[in-house]
Copies of this chain bind each other. A is one copy, B any other.
Amino acid sequence: MSKSQARSGQRRRDILQAALACFIEHGVEGTTIEMIRDRSGASIGSLYHHFGNKERIASTLFLQGLQDFSQALLQRLSEAGDARAGIQAMVDSYIDWVSANPDWARFILQTRGQVIHGEAADKLTAANREQFQKLRAWLSPHVASGTLKNLPLELYRPLIIGPVQDYTRAWLAGRVPHGPDRYRDVFATAAWQAVGANTAFKPASESP
């Protein structure tokens, strides 16, 4: 049984990996089951035995990606000493995960809209909510202690991740040559300036 389960698990993984390659190359809708079958070596029946339909392959890939990134982020965050280090950890986690998994990242960045309206919408909402709670739990004390600005909650993510994410989109689309790790500090600094309670952000009053 354990042997057969191992095989079965491998089959699943093969299918997911093949599907990811196809999805990036042709988009989810542009990918046919036949393409995934070709690339994975699995039979059509096996694809359906394991996932039920094409959408479920895509949403599995999407949700696993979210979770994988989320784990990495929360791990690094928990190791961060102070608020500044935490912001740096967020930017670094993003850059590192995206650099290590460019295909997966490309897929997630392009597919969110379809998963939102698909049958896995609930799972996605739940995953988002959970990550949001954990981030809030990290932010709150720093806001309370005055090391982070007190902003509406929905602004932290855009201010911290917005720039690096926009740059990453451009990189993944081939519009810029260098990966985001080249500008690691630029993005982290911008993020810190946007949300950190550094008193220096109004230079006029600061340099008498």
Contact = CB atoms under 8 A, between A and B. Distances in A.
A154 interface: yes
A173 B143 CA distance: 27
Nearest to A190: B194
A30 to B, nearest CB: 7
Interface-central residue, A27, A113, A152, A175, by most chain B CB under 10 Å: A113
A1 interface: no
A170 B155 CA distance: 10
A186 B27 contact: no
A79 interface: no
Interface stretch (A60-68, A69-77, A97-105, A157-165): A157-165
B167 A165 contact: no
**Best-surrounded residue of A110, A158, A163 (most CB of chain B within 10 A):** A158
Give the number of times this chain occurs in the complex, counting copies.
4
A203 B199 contact: yes
Given A198-B203, A199-B207, A200-B200, A158 B154 contact: no
Interface residues of A, number: 42
Contacts of A152: 183
Given A193-B190, A201-B200, A164 B167 contact: no
A87 to B, nearest CB: 13
A198 B155 CA distance: 23
Contacts of A207: 199-200
B194 A200 contact: no
Nearest to A26: B117
Nearest to A180: B158
Contact of A161 (B166, B186, B198, B199): B166
10 contacts: A27-B113, A116-B173, A157-B166, A157-B170, A162-B164, A162-B167, A166-B166, A190-B190, A193-B193, A200-B200
Q: Which 6 A-B pairs have the closest CB atoms?
A: A162-B163, A162-B162, A200-B200, A162-B166, A158-B166, A158-B167
